[in-house]
Amino acid sequence: MGAQWKAKHKDIAANAKGKLFGKLAKDIMIAARNGADPKDNAKLRMAVEAARKVSMPKDTLDRAIKKGAGLTGETVHFEQVIYEGFAPHRVPVMVEVLTDNTNRAASDMRVLFRKGQQGTPGSVSWDFDHLGLIEAEPAAPGADADMAAIEAGAQDLVPADEDGITLFLTDPADLDLVSRALPAQGFTVLSAKLGYRPKNPVDPASLTAEQLEEVESFLAAMDDNDDVQHVYAGLGG
């Protein structure tokens, strides 16, 4: 799962939204390297849609596209690094970092992993599938998720959660194709991205309330780092 937390106060929520905009802007800048027109750049189109869904200001969005495409004269240099390891109580985690300073990021990761255990490349990734992850909800009553998955070309799906959101799983190469096909099958796409899904998630029921809080605190601290784009935890539920 991708770790997510709900802010309790307006000031915290505003800060969280600012961080989210910053992370989305990075995604947009990286995608825009391959062209500034979303119509001709599938990766940019998905990044722009994700930004619009959380109401990123148009000026911020446009500036990120132009900066990434090299239209402002500024040099954008980000490197993607994947860190692997464990949160407290042996919960596996995959951390996607996008940074302009790999030394700083590596130092931050060493500190953040002190409450868990940092692993070597491959030590945890074997227990995750790299997939296209599409969250979608029915556009009208009666929409059949199983049929939609078949018709749109998804590999599999996770049945709707308590909020009515179905997770469609795709081959990484088919992410854009499937996300564009789902609306014709009666589903509204809420998000579409490449990510990691645990093969053998830890059952939260196997942890005490105190242990689960320690895991969530670790994930929240990791997610709060400016260089971290996504955190995927091998935690069920």
Q: How far apart are the first and last CA of the chain?
A: 8
Specify the pTM: 0.82
- Name beta bridge partners: 193: 133
Residue boundaries of the structural domains of the chain: 10-68, 79-125+205-233, 127-198
**In CATH, which superfamily holds the domain spanning 10-68?**
Integrase, N-terminal zinc-binding domain (1.10.10.200)
Radius of gyration of the chain (CA): 18
Q: How far apart are CA 16 and CA 22, in angstroms?
A: 10
Strand ranges across the sheet with 91-99: 117-118, 79-87, 91-99, 228-233
Q: Which pLDDT belongs to residue 15?
A: 60
Q: Which fold has domain 79-125+205-233?
A: Alpha-Beta Plaits (3.30.70)
- Cβ atoms of residues 89 and 214 within 8 Å: yes
**138 vs 175: CA distance, rounded Å:** 19
Distance CA 126, CA 49 (A): 31
> For position 6, what pLDDT does the model report?
41
Looking at domain 127-198, its CATH architecture is 2-Layer Sandwich (3.30)
The b/e string for 41-79 (b: 16+ C-beta within 10 A; e otherwise) is bbbbbbbbebbeeeebeeeebebbbbbbbeeeeeebebe
The reply to whether domains 10-68 and 127-198 share a CATH topology is no
- Find out whether 83 and 117 touch, Cβ atoms under 8 Å: no
The mean pLDDT values, 10 residues at a time, for the chain of 237 residues are: 40 65 91 89 88 90 92 84 96 95 96 96 95 92 93 94 92 94 93 92 95 95 93 90
